[in-house]
Amino acid sequence: MEQQAMEQLYIDEPCVVSLCARELGWFLQYYQAHMRYLKHKVYPDHKFVIMTDSVLHPFINDFVSYTLPLPDDFYNLGLDRDCYESVLLNSPAGSLTPPNVYSSLVNYIRRFYNKDKAVEVWTPRGCNFIINKMQQIFCKYSAGEKIKAEKPIIVVMPRARVRAANRNIPESVWKELVHMLKQTFLVVLSGTPNGACLQNYESESVVNLISYEKEDKVDKTIQYLNSAVCSVSSQSGGTHISLLSNCSSYIIGHEKDRHTIELNRFNVPTSFRYVTDYRCIDATTIVNDLRKFIYMLVKKGMVEDDSPSFDKLVSDDIIKLKELIESQ
């Protein structure tokens, strides 16, 4: 919402109001789905007002009346996101948003509505899974028509966060993986500048959305996911965008059931590479896993792509898999 329009905004009618300055995965997998349920089933005649990162508007635009951006003063604090919280850098797990910051956000959003006519819905605090036990309504995300490219599309999400850095795959592995994949695929790099590596990676057959900061960034990401053979991620926010965009997902991580079953709301095809140490994975292993995964998707009719390069990839995979089976 534009700053000038915000300054003039005051809602003097029944409304449901909430704020969420949180980790992306928690926003997608818990918070927004419960808020959608409240709109459809509990307060259908109320306007819904949510204050959050404005870039997240495409995930909630089907039911909100107003998405208010978090104030500039909040961003200037340089806080990190963890579960439902915005925490100080290098704070331990389980930390909460500083009390003065949280109260200032509440006071800020209350400038825009009549509190006597509002239902205020505040998120749980910390690492709290209670919303997952409440009623939720999820939405399959789509954006525009499918993108047609000369090569089949694959979306790569190279996580590189400071918080929980032990879950980062080395940048050198991501770089080698992209180099290998771009021979056959149009590789789309997705993420945020402060949460992903390869921000400045440029090459033929690579579309880099990591440093792309226009308003349609999320829409573009979803559109590529809707058009992709599959995505590649390592238990990051991008994993959840992929699953909720109905994109077949190859996931590297340590919580298989959580990401392939519990949080796989639409039963999207997944392949999970379990690791105990995120440094102990290499590009060749990922590519070999992807070949098997894509072969399975093709065999089950879950891939729609008739480009010559894709046909060649599948043919090559069939030959390699047959050779592998015969050699055992």
| Number of CB atoms found within 10 A of residue 83's CB | 21
3-state class of 305 per DSSP?
coil
pTM assigned to the model: 0.91
Tell which residue, 279, 37, 281, has the closest CA to residue 136.
Answer: 37
Could you give all domains of the chain from N- to C-terminal order, each with its CATH number?
3-133 (3.40.1260), 153-327 (3.40.50.2000)
Rounded to whole angstroms, the Cα distance separating 44 from 32 reads 16
Digit-by-digit pLDDT tens for the chain (328 residues) are 555 556 689 999 999 999 999 999 999 999 999 999 999 999 999 999 999 999 999 999 999 999 999 999 999 999 999 999 999 999 998 999 999 999 999 999 999 999 999 999 999 999 999 998 999 999 999 998 999 999 999 999 999 999 999 999 999 999 999 999 999 999 999 999 999 999 999 999 999 999 999 999 999 999 999 999 999 999 999 999 999 999 999 999 999 999 999 999 999 999 999 999 999 999 999 999 999 999 999 988 888 655 445 555 555 554 555 455 455 4
Please provide residue 6's backbone torsions phi and psi, each rounded to the nearest 5 degrees. -65, -40
